[in-house]
Amino acid sequence: MTETILNIEGLKTYFFTEAGIVTAVDGVSFNLKKGESLGLVGESGSGKTVTALSVLRIVPKPGKIVDGKVEFNGEDLLEKSEKEMQKIRGSEISIIFQDPSSSLNPVYNVETQLRDAIIAHQNVSKMEAKGKAIELLEVVGIPEAETRMREYPHQFSGGMKQRVAVARALACQPTLLFADEPTTNLDVTIQAQVLNLLNDLKKKFGMSLVMITHDMGIIAEMTTRIVVLYAGHVCEIAETRDLFERPRHPYTEALLAAVPRLDMRKTLRVIPGNIPNLIEPPSGCRFHPRCNYAKKICEEVVPVLEETEQGHFVACHEWRKISLKGERGH
Amino acid sequence: MAKNQLEGGKRPLSSSDFIKVEKLVKYFPVYSRGVLFKKEVGLVHAVDNVSFDIRRKETFGLVGESGCGKTTTARLILNLIEPTDGQVFFEGENVFEKLKSSSKAEKLKIRRKMQLIFQNPYGSLDPRMTVFDIISEPFVIHKHIPKKQWKEKVYKLLELVGLEEYHAERYPHEFSGGQRQRICIARALAVEPEFLVADEPVSSLDVSIRAQILNLLGELQQRVGLTYLYISHDLSSVRQISNRVAVMYLGEIVELADTDELFKEPLHPYTEALIAAVPIPDPNARSIKIVLPGEVPSPINPPSGCRFHPRCPQAKPACREKVPELVQVNPRHAVACHI
């Protein structure tokens, strides 16, 4: 049994807005093994990004972590002081954001940004840090690293900027990397390059990776296990292959059926309705207003995660009674 | 499986040319920042020698990466910008000449036949107008519907795109992204167009909502008999909705074919790489990746010969020198490649 690097239990992160309390993450639990690639899947507002931000404790105001446990290598990150967290961020846990143009600082050149990240966490001189920065840029595939690092972010193309962001995230060889929709803004051919790069680096540094995305294609190719989120709740956790073949939650099934595929034309199934408002989320199972199988109990009681078979968990009252079709069945 | 309206590939198409695009060229000048005078320092070759035709009631897909000229092509067809060179024929009439020479009423008449929906339904709706005002604004401009019938007509349009009557009194901010895109579609349909350009209509929407809009577009095509030009960088949705697809790279069409044929047997190395680069949502279908080196070159000084040659895994010396022509390989398939 490989050891667990990250264990999240009952995480609740709420946003206290003027309009009301947004229950963005409401009781999310899952764990991550060392060296694993985990996918966090969900649509906008499902709480996937907020979960990652909560682990790093960088939830923006008016958001607050109100309950739960986030154990990283056995230590609860929610009990750490801000100073201790600063040491962990970047050096042990790192994150790549969706939009590299806004996550890189436009007024510093790439060299400074990388060097500062290295010096902040490692006891090295400026010159050593510079050498490391060049190495990093070479690792992420930026040609002529030594000259290009003197340039500013706006002088890089989108794909190159994302490579710089990857380089910065990896500056201190973190053991856990969150990648929050790292390729959503990129073209497909560049996306393929960045995904390849992430895969290579993961192997090279033996990192654990949490891939946050709504793209089922990327999930299928990049991960070994998946957590499906809907409106701040976990719907289903399973190994990738298992989830695609035998989804147990009606939402997972509907999500798979709603995605057009390149290798075949199929009838797109529509999930009726819209993503719920999280200030007044639906009672019971949050998916029930859009679910084809909803019964009375679904309106009243919040379903808990149950293990259906080895390693496959689902939060649905009806999973025993319904048979769902996976990717092959369409 | 129920017969689906989106499986349009099998539907017989009328062969009469609906829209014909001939050798369309658009260069944008680039200026240097002078103190007093602007100096032209180069030309962005946004669209270069693009020709194709769109048949009545089909969905013509236009794919390519950002900056390849897909949107510029669409804007040229709608004559929202002036072309540098080339012609567009709409039902046999030269659109540019017609729009230049005819009266305002005549111009509106042409405009009524073509409409556009945009990528971002947040930016393309006026936040200070109610849905009723938004959808009835085309009536104000085109005056094709007497004021008495506006209400009835707006309700009909709302129903057509899957919204309710009471939505008419609301403002755009009260709607979700998918619903807003429905409003945009209703507005575009208000003038009863024959041709609709959909520029990345689902890119900014969530996955579960994308399917709704794609299905809606397919349904509308059946009910109203629309012709679509569907522009997207998302190959999966293009495959889902189009009858024929043109692939663009740096302002040029590199391949044009029936959808199924293009995806099954791509002939151009770029198309092949583009298809291979898309992750497939099936863990058992892990494909062999062709990762293209480098990035799309600048359209200011596009590479000589075949514009794809610096990134092409199969490039030969000839590719650097001669521009390949779009050649018809069979009646359903054309490709611009020396190999």
Question: Does pTM surpass 0.80?
Answer: yes
Q: Report cis status (omega within 30 of 0) of the bond before A62.
A: yes
Cα–Cα distance between A64 and A151 in angstroms, integer?
A: 37
DSSP per position, B193-230: -SEEEEESTTTTS-HHHHHHHHHHHHHHHHHH--EEEE
Amino acid B287: pLDDT? 59
- Spatial CB neighbours of B120, under 8 Å, sequence gap ≥ 6: B204
Q: Which residues of A touch B (CB under 8 A)?
A: 43-44, 157, 159-160, 187-193, 195-196, 214-222, 240-241, 244, 254-256, 258-263, 265-271, 274-275, 327
Compute the average pLDDT of residues A27-39: 93
Question: How many Cα neighbours within 13 Å face the side chain of B134?
Answer: 27
Q: Which tens digit of pLDDT belongs to each residue from A147-175?
A: 888 999 988 888 888 889 988 988 888 99
Nearest CA to CA, how far is A73 from chain B (Å)?
30
Compute the average pLDDT of residues B87-95: 86
Assigned token pair, A53: 């931000």
Between B339 and B153, residue with greater pLDDT: B153
pLDDT at B259 over 50: yes
ipTM: 0.75
Q: Best residue in B176, B206, B233 to probe A by mutation, most A CBs within 10 Å?
A: B206
Backbone φ and ψ for A209, nearest 5 degrees, come out as -125, 135
Pair B258, B330: CB distance under 8 Å: no
Amino acid B271: pLDDT? 92
Q: What is the mean pLDDT of chain A?
A: 89
Are B207 and A43 inside 8 Å of each other by CB? yes
Which of helix, strand or coil describes residue B245?
strand
Other CB atoms closer than 10 Å to residue A119's CB: what's the count? 17
Least CB-CB distance to B208: which of A241, A255, A262?
A255
Pair B70, B63: CB distance under 8 Å: yes
Pair A269, B211: CB distance under 8 Å: yes
Amino acid A327: pLDDT? 58
Q: What is the mean pLDDT of chain B?
A: 85
- What type of residue is B245? V
Tell me the C-alpha to C-alpha distance, in Å, between residue B201 and each of A300, B123, B212, B237: 37, 13, 11, 10
Q: Which tens digit of pLDDT belongs to each residue from B17-70?
A: 789 998 999 998 888 776 677 777 788 888 988 999 999 989 999 998 888 888
Pair A225, A239: CB distance under 8 Å: yes
Q: Which of A184-193, B160-169, B303-312 has the lowest mean pLDDT?
A: A184-193
Chain B residues inside the 8 Å CB shell of A263: 263, 280, 282, 285
Amino acid B286: pLDDT? 59
- What type of residue is B72? T
Assigned token pair, A201: 């680096």
pLDDT at B4 over 80: no
Least CB-CB distance to B214: which of A188, A218, A268?
A268
Residue linked to tokens 């979700």:
B176
pLDDT at B256 over 50: yes
Compute the average pLDDT of residues A10-38: 92
Are B179 and A274 inside 8 Å of each other by CB? yes
pLDDT at B1 over 70: no
Q: Which of A118-127, A258-267, B196-205 has the lowest mean pLDDT?
A: A258-267
Are A261 and B236 inside 8 Å of each other by CB? yes
Cα–Cα distance between A60 and B236 in angstroms, integer?
A: 35
Chain A residues inside the 8 Å CB shell of B313: none
Chain A residues inside the 8 Å CB shell of B278: 188, 217, 262
Nearest CA to CA, how far is A308 from chain B (Å)?
21
Are A241 and B283 inside 8 Å of each other by CB? yes
Cα–Cα distance between A236 and A39 in angstroms, integer?
A: 12
Which of helix, strand or coil describes residue A201?
helix
For chain B, the farthest-separated pair of C-alpha atoms sits apart, in whole angstroms, at 68
Nearest CA to CA, how far is B171 from chain A (Å)?
17
Q: What percent of chain A has pLDDT over 90?
A: 50
Q: Which tens digit of pLDDT belongs to each residue from A206-265?
A: 899 999 998 888 999 899 999 999 999 999 999 999 999 899 999 999 888 888 887 777
Backbone φ and ψ for B222, nearest 5 degrees, come out as -65, -45
Which of helix, strand or coil describes residue B181?
helix
Task: For residue B288, name the pLDDT band (cuts at 50, 70, 90).
Answer: low
The closest alpha carbon to A7, from A33, A31, A36, belongs to A31
Closest-CA residue in chain A for B272?
A189
Assigned token pair, A202: 């993961």
Tell me the C-alpha to C-alpha distance, in Å, between residue B61 and each of A90, B119, B262, B269: 43, 15, 11, 19
SS3 content of chain B, % helix, strand, coil (to 5): 35, 25, 40
Between A313 and A90, residue with greater pLDDT: A313
Compute the average pLDDT of residues A268-279: 82
Least CB-CB distance to B176: which of A258, A265, A274?
A274
Amino acid B6: pLDDT? 39
Nearest CA to CA, how far is B286 from chain A (Å)?
7
Between A231 and A2, residue with greater pLDDT: A231
Q: Report cis status (omega within 30 of 0) of the bond before A174.
A: no
Least CB-CB distance to A259: which of B65, B275, B281?
B281
Cα–Cα distance between B151 and A219 in angstroms, integer?
A: 46
Chain B residues inside the 8 Å CB shell of A160: 295
Least CB-CB distance to B277: which of A191, A240, A266?
A191
Are B281 and A327 inside 8 Å of each other by CB? yes
